[in-house]
Structure 1
Amino acid sequence: MTNNDILKKLRVALQLRDDEIVDILALVDFRISKSEIGAFCRKEGHPKYRECGDQVLRNFLNGLVLHLRGPRDK
């Protein structure tokens, strides 16, 4: 299973739109455009397909924790 598959499955399971994913990534100070998110969600043979790197997926998962749970108490 690739990082793209994981991102797509989480996107569908949590019913997230591209702009919501951009906002989630912004929670961990990771900037990315909506078009890049769309490129990650395309089929592998598509001309605008792009592989989702480990850094993008890691930051998305960390941002998702903040989005769902809220910031950590001090």
Structure 2
Amino acid sequence: MSDLQLVPGNSLLAATPEEGRQLAVKLARLVIKLTQPDDEKRRQQRAIYADNPMMLISIGQTVAAEFATIAAANNYWRERPESR
């Protein structure tokens, strides 16, 4: 297993929904990097998914799943009225 840290800072806490969404994108990218650790192969594959709408939708679904997890961990930001 890689020494790649899959949860940056070992926390899903985010001050705002925007920060949570950014963390979700980062987590999705880290999963891809873990799944395909070869930088060159990932660059080669980028050309494949860049022109495939279904693959791009799948990427969006992965980020959405990560964001749902982060939002739940942050109690949907209800505890932080200043973030509304």
TM-score, normalised by the number of residues in structure 2 = 0.31
